[in-house]
Amino acid sequence: MQLSQIALKYSKAIFHVSKNHEVVLNQLRQIVAILDKDNTAKEFFASHFISNIQKIEVIKNTFTDKGIVPEVLNLLLVLAEKGRIELLAEVVNTFEFLVDNEHGVTRGEVKSATPLDNDERKRIESVVAKVTNKKVILTFSEDEKLIGGIVTRVGGWTIEDSLDSHITRLKEDLNRRAN
């Protein structure tokens, strides 16, 4: 995962001051999800015509006394003050990476040609967990570009067991034998 140095700075700061990483992470995810769905809010925070002071006031009015932990509120206020609220999603991603790393968890994605049932998903998670020696959280999706098989990306690793990769290896093997 390529981490922005600025987002990493904010993520490390909230990581070190937060008492409960899971609560902070869940609240940050919820806020990012709300902002992703609300174009008006997105445009408001992205606007250069609206002052940082106005953005801070909106954050205070929206989140004060709403059950948001102080660490999350302070992060939002600092990002607004510095004109970096658009980095929030990236900060959340890097914070999630730090929390996962602390718990020995790695995340990844699996793309398959066809939907995978629960047993297949568990078997893939088990194999990837053994290879990475970490607890694994995978997201699964279908990719119509795949003719058959799966492609798994975890951390910096790509494990490809697709029909395309088998054909490519077969071609390479045939070329080596022919030459």
What pLDDT score was predicted for residue 158? 80
The pLDDT of 64-73, averaged and rounded, is 93
- Which CATH architecture describes the domain 105-178? 3-Layer(aba) Sandwich (3.40)
Q: Which is nearest to 125 in space by CA: 140, 114, 112, 103?
A: 140
CB within 8 A of 58, min separation 6: which ones?
A: 44
CATH 3.40.30 positions along the chain are: 105-178
Tell me the pLDDT tens digit for each residue of 12-28.
Answer: 999 999 989 999 999 99
Task: Copy the structure tokens of residue 84.
Answer: 């970096």
With bands split at pLDDT 50, 70 and 90, how would you rate the model's confidence at 68?
very high
- Which CATH architecture describes the domain 5-100? Orthogonal Bundle (1.10)
- Name residue 48's beta-bridge partners: none
The Cα–Cα gap between 120 and 127 comes to 11
Question: Comparing 71 with 163, which gets the higher pLDDT?
Answer: 71
CB atoms within 10 A of CB 122: 11
Q: Is the pLDDT of residue 164 over 60?
A: yes
Q: Is 93 helix (H, G, I), strand (E, B) or coil?
A: helix
CATH 1.10.520.20 positions along the chain are: 5-100
Q: Is the pLDDT of residue 166 over 70?
A: no
CB within 8 A of 8, min separation 6: which ones?
A: 94
CB within 8 A of 14, min separation 6: which ones?
A: 24, 71, 72, 75, 91, 95
Q: Is 82 helix (H, G, I), strand (E, B) or coil?
A: coil
